[in-house]
Amino acid sequence: MDETTPAQANVPLGKVTLQGLARELGLSTATISLALRDSPMVAEATRLKVQEAARARGYVANRGAAALRTARTNIVALGLHDIVNPSFTELLAAVEEALTAAGKTVLLGVSQEDVARQARTLGTLAEYRPDAFLVSPAASSTVDDLKALAATGIAVVQVTREIEGSGFDFAGSDDRTGVALGVAHLVALGHRRIGMLGGYGAISTGRKRLAGYKAGLAAAGIPFDPTLVMEGPGLREEGRRQLARLLALEEPPTAAVCFNDLSAFGALMGLSAAGLTPGKDFSLVGYDDIAEAKLWHPGLTSVHTFIAEYGRAAADLALKRIADPGRPMERVEMSPELVVRATTCPPVPVKRRPL
């Protein structure tokens, strides 16, 4: 994304332009503009350096232009940590459709699970003065990251992921309940040794889904065994590797729940490589129930999380927050539903398969 907005192209800073000062200091025009507005999104040392350089060149703040920025732009910025996973393209489509119907334009930024990149991307989006931010925080994001956004006067809504206790609106799925549903299904089939593939503690979805896994085991009186949890990103290749590690245990499980459907797809490939048939030799439950889940052979049993619905709910929260910035914080959590297909069955003893 070009970091220079049309309005910035010829904005004078006394004797220099934003672009000239940016080139001289080795910074983006977005960073220069934020620093001149004393935004907390820019590190203090950088703000002081920019402001001192601007003063030295005779910069005088244009209060008339600043006043123009208080008007609504009908832009909503969407900051996602990933768009490769089809669940996020589904989320993006739902958010965009809902906001377009409300007369808003959506600008997208992607952090790729990098907090520093997230700060740069959201800082650039902030230059367009959106009326609201919808954010799915990158791994290891903190409350301060979101408060820096809110300090610019722009409404903030969290979607699918959250920073617990931040005080910002949230729309997503009840992940704890969702994974517990998957575990309960496996227990009802007779499984007692159940693994979990994917997820990690640096993201709220990882923490919640692990909590759901533990709660499902506890409800059935099954002790939690940490050796059956294979942490990692929710990717196909990771799911395949994690499944191989489960099968290499001295006492492999007979079933597993997965952090998401991509992990499950990788695990399905791993089962095939090990000569095992999902739904006959080993049971597997995915999470999200993206469209691809029912197209696999065998069809993947998964937990449907109502992605489009909570995407529309997030858009609605943003619109309500724009209209009434002082309204009480609101949470919308969709209740997931188990969709049983063909990858689960009663337990069959699994022989160890060394790596």
pLDDT in tens, 293-350: 999 999 999 999 999 999 999 999 999 999 999 999 999 999 999 999 999 999 998 8
Burial 137-154 (b: 16+ CB within 10 A, else e): bbbebeeebbbbbbebeb
Percentage of the residues of the chain whose pLDDT score is greater than 70: 92
As a whole number, mean pLDDT of residues 93-117 equals 96
pLDDT tens profile 217-233: 999 999 999 999 999 99
Which pLDDT value is given to residue 15? 45
Question: Alpha carbon of 335 to those of 18, 214, 217, 288, 303: distances in Å?
Answer: 48, 18, 20, 12, 10
pTM listed for this prediction: 0.81
pLDDT tens profile 120-143: 999 889 888 899 999 999 999 999
Which pLDDT value is given to residue 3? 37
Which pLDDT value is given to residue 61? 54
**Locate tokens 């997230």: which residue?**
118
